[in-house]
Chains A and B, each alone.
Chain A
Amino acid sequence: MAGTASLRWRLLAAVSVAVLLLWLLTAWFSYTKAQHEAEELMDGNLAQTGRLLLAITQDNEDDLGELAGRLATVRGAADNVYEPPLEFQLCLGDGTILARSIGAPDLPVLGVPGYSDILRKDGSWRVLNVVSGDGRHRVQVSQSIGLRDRAALEVAGQTVLPLAIITPVLLLLIYVSVVKALDPLNRLARDVASRSADNLAALSREDVPNEVGPLVAAINRLLLRVARALDNERRFTSDAAHELRTPLAAIKVQTQVARLSRDAAQTTRALGQIESGVDRATRLVEQLLRLARLDPLNVLPNPQPLDLLPLVEGTLANVLAANPALTQTVRHELPQSAPRVFGDADLLGIALRNLIDNAIRYTPAGSTIVIRQEDEEGGRVCLSVQDDGPGVPDELIARLGERFVRGRDALAEGSGLGLAIVSRIMELHGGHFSARNLATGGFAARLCGLVRADRDAAPAGA
């Protein structure tokens, strides 16, 4: 729990250290101030007493012998720390002592008028010499510095004492407040910790402090994205499993037909159908795997400048080799000077192949399928596969890149994944897949937004 990462302990440490420092500062300041004030007070006391005694001396110059004795009997309790005893010496202007208190120190009486500290081995004294206006009388009042310091310390100590009592209480209050203030965070942590892996519901914003609000909002946005991604994943898995059921059903039914049939020709035919069914299921699985491999990618793993012409010619050769009994004409119209583009040769080959396969699948015998290279704005390049077939219903065109969406009346079986793969490949190339029916009849499918990597142009980003 403790450690630098704990907000609670960091807050507590910072606030407590600050409070303690402040307390020390205040205590020191109060202490010195109180001490100083106590000194001033006692000095004032010294001055008042000095002037009083001077007046008495002037009035009763002859009768002073009794004064010391009388004062001695009314001296306060010596143990009262706030009353450090005052000693005095009353004398004439020439230094003749008329009277002195019993405990008065033996100090020279003809000192400079005013305050002075006299430090001696047998004791240090705070001394005030007062002289009458005509210079005929002098009074010396003195106080033991040791006792004065004790009194001042006592005062200062009493001033600081409440602070010393308040500080632990203050620290306790700070601790409780911090713990209390961080409680919503703990609740949040418990909420998240107690969740099962599939609970991706948004975190509650109730009782969440403003400072944590943005974090909770960000987490909720993340949860939403994760939930969506997970949802897509689940739907895809489920769709994929369902898509596999049809070829499996076909294989199963054809197998049973082969077993039940008593006609050798029919059995042979059913066996052939089983083989096609297995081929189709295999192709579906291959395409699913291809999509699954493309799905987690954000960028092309290995983009290279590649020549469009050999790419198109190579793909075309593959198509023709795979369809020896092709009833349509498939050709390309790329010039010898066809540009280079950045991309992955394998993936672009697959995308182009899928478009050509689709064109073959959805056009009747005798159709012509042409591959062209078109220039786009911004120096980008596009490959198009055009046919003169019946086209695609308009309401279907926008959904063509979705998974498991098939054209109608397919003349051959498709997995419904081909264009989804094309879309994904084009996304990875920073481009997109587009399709439209042609005004002149027929259908054009295009790989758009390929980035040029011409020989004379500096290869951007390479």
Chain B
Amino acid sequence: MKVKLGMITLILPVFLGACADMSVLEEVPAWERGSLARPEMAWEPDPMHAALRQHIYFSKEASSGAASAGGGGCGCN
């Protein structure tokens, strides 16, 4: 298969910036994780809308693939 790896570098710097945080990866004590438990910090704060959007983009664009195993296709692609 043909994977055009060259283009990845265009986007990666965004996440390298984020990863700079990880230079010292100490375990964060439980009592300091209050912010992480906030609902707006969830991977998907609105799971219903996220499912709909995923379905729309799956039907209207050529790409697919999220970190989940469920869900079916539709007669739209």
A and B physically associate: no
Which residues of B pack against A, CB within 8 Å?
none
Which residues of A pack against B, CB within 8 Å?
none
